[in-house]
Amino acid sequence: MQILGAVLERSGAPAPFAASRPFTVGVLELDGPGPGEVLVRIEAAGVCHSDLSVVDGNRVRPTPMLLGHEAAGIVERLGAGVDDLAVGDRVVMTFLPRCGQCPECATDGRLPCRVGSAANGRGTLVGDGMRLHRDGRPVHHHLGVSAFASHAVVSRTSVVRVDPDVPPEVAALLGCAVLTGGGAVVNAGRPREGDTVMVVGLGGVGMAALLVAVALGLEVIGVDARADKLAAARTNGAAATYLPADVPVRAPVVIEAAGNARAFETAFAATAPGGTTVTVGLPAPDARASVSPLILTAEARTVVGSYLGSAVPSRDIPLYVDLWRSGRLPLERLVSSRITLHDLDVAMDRLAAGGELRQLIVLDERTTP
């Protein structure tokens, strides 16, 4: 079938991307779903720093590649062997397929799936399938999803069904921002009743962590270099907010969600004795941070790396849906802008500037080649 999609032609294009224009929006060919796969019509897709890291070259991926890994949509066709979904189901798309067989999949979300990670690095689906083509040549998949398009074919293990009362703009956020930020709190930080959670870096993932912690009844402190992000954190329930240089307190659980070395150092310095520093940000590969091994020992500290919030999506997404449905988790507040596929070059510039939470691409059934 023919679809409309935004293809990243090359990685490492110079900023501003509005001038270098690394994306091409146009018609692609999409094969039908193979065994264990589903065809999804995309309803909404978020623009995340993990997309930007491929655009700016901090994450090396094969190109051309159809980006987008945080999305929701409607199942339109089922591949052979998929018998637990139905055409018309709304699904959340997640960026780490799980084979369910490797040793990493037996760690209850602590380690990313070996098979899914390898496929993501190659730009293929699990099993090495490539369903995207342009002018007869293959186009790589992004993290098993490739959601900057009208349709996608994905592995069954890349989607989680949600009830139809969950609107697509909320469902999309569950696939990355909420799984990653919320999971950093719930699965990696594991705060006890009465603990304070500090979040360093209040972009989409960090603000999601803040919202989840507030929804769980925890006191939350927000830290960011931008005054507008601090104001948003206070609106979203933070008990206190600080600039990185002005943090006067320490917390038992500190989440670093900025994806840079200085933010990690800030988070580590702000962690209380016996506390846990959780890092979910993805800095540049050559980034280095300085910490004191003595403090780790003398203060009995723990540092935890958490990929995708150490999540098991089929287990965790229903938890966040229940919190949203109860009114305790207002995920709609994460949406800072609504854009189209044609706005992606500018959207990457805005994301790099740090002023956005989640820019959301909203599509409907009229989005066609």
Ordered by start, the domain boundaries in the chain are 2-164+330-362, 181-306
Average pLDDT over residues 144-149: 98
Q: Could you read off the pLDDT of 82-124 as tens digits, one per residue?
A: 999 999 999 999 999 988 899 999 999 999 999 999 999 999 9
**Considering only 25-29, 213-217, 282-286, 334-338, which range has the smallest mean pLDDT?**
282-286
Average pLDDT over residues 344-357: 95
Decide the pairing of beta strands 358-362 and 335-339: parallel
pLDDT value of residue 369: 72
pLDDT value of residue 355: 87
How does the average pLDDT of the chain come out, rounded? 96
pLDDT value of residue 191: 97
Q: Could you read off the pLDDT of 167-214 as tens digits, one per residue?
A: 999 999 999 999 999 999 999 999 999 999 999 999 999 999 999 999
Amino acid at 235: T
- Read off the pTM: 0.96
With beta carbons less than 8 A apart as the criterion, state whether 226 and 233 touch.
no
pLDDT value of residue 364: 79
What Rg, from alpha-carbon coordinates, does the chain have?
20
Could you please state the CATH topology (level 3) that the domain comprising 181-306 is classified under: Rossmann fold (3.40.50)
What's the DSSP call for residue 16? P
- Closest CA relative to residue 149, chosen from 100, 227, 198, 93: 93
Superfamily of domain 2-164+330-362 in CATH is Medium-chain alcohol dehydrogenases, catalytic domain (3.90.180.10)
Instruction: Give, for 172, the enclosing helix (H) or strand (E).
Output: helix 168-173
pLDDT value of residue 277: 98
Tokens of residue 116, six digits: 């899914």
Report the alpha-carbon distance of residue 35 to residue 132 in Å, rounded.
16
- Closest CA relative to residue 20, chosen from 56, 53, 65, 50: 56
Half-sphere exposure of 202 (CA within 13 A, CB side): 30
Amino acid at 245: A
pLDDT value of residue 367: 67
| Extended beta strands in the chain, E state | 2-8, 23-30, 37-47, 65-66, 70-78, 90-93, 132-134, 137-138, 140-141, 151-155, 159-162, 196-200, 219-223, 240-242, 251-256, 271-279, 302-305, 335-339, 358-362
Question: Dihedral of the CA atoms 299, 300, 306, 309 (nearest 10)?
Answer: -90
Residue 366 has pLDDT above 90, yes or no: no
Average pLDDT over residues 307-323: 96
